Amino acid sequence: MFEGLFQPMHLLLILVIVLIVFGAGKLPDAAGALGQGIREFKKAANEPVKSDHLASGSRDDPRSGGRGTK
């Protein structure tokens, strides 16, 4: 009988509570902010990672005394 957590009646109840708490006017703003946050997260997740061990042999590395490795 109770197969899953998100049954249609549960989702309807959650929607009604959200409408009561935020009001109909604030929902588009909240949805837009949520979408923008998801886009920024995906963009940051797809950027290449710069790690310190790749830069350890660079000429600008203060740990190597300013000299590059040969």
Residue range 45-64, pLDDT digits in tens: 988 776 655 555 555 555 55
For position 25, what pLDDT does the model report?
85
Token reading at 67: 């000299």
Q: Does residue 16 register a pLDDT over 60?
A: yes
pLDDT in tens, 1-14: 456 777 888 889 98
For position 1, what pLDDT does the model report?
47
For position 69, what pLDDT does the model report?
56
CA neighbours closer than 13 Å in the CB half-sphere of residue 20:
6
What does the alpha-carbon distance between residue 57 and residue 68 come to, in Å, rounded to a whole number? 6
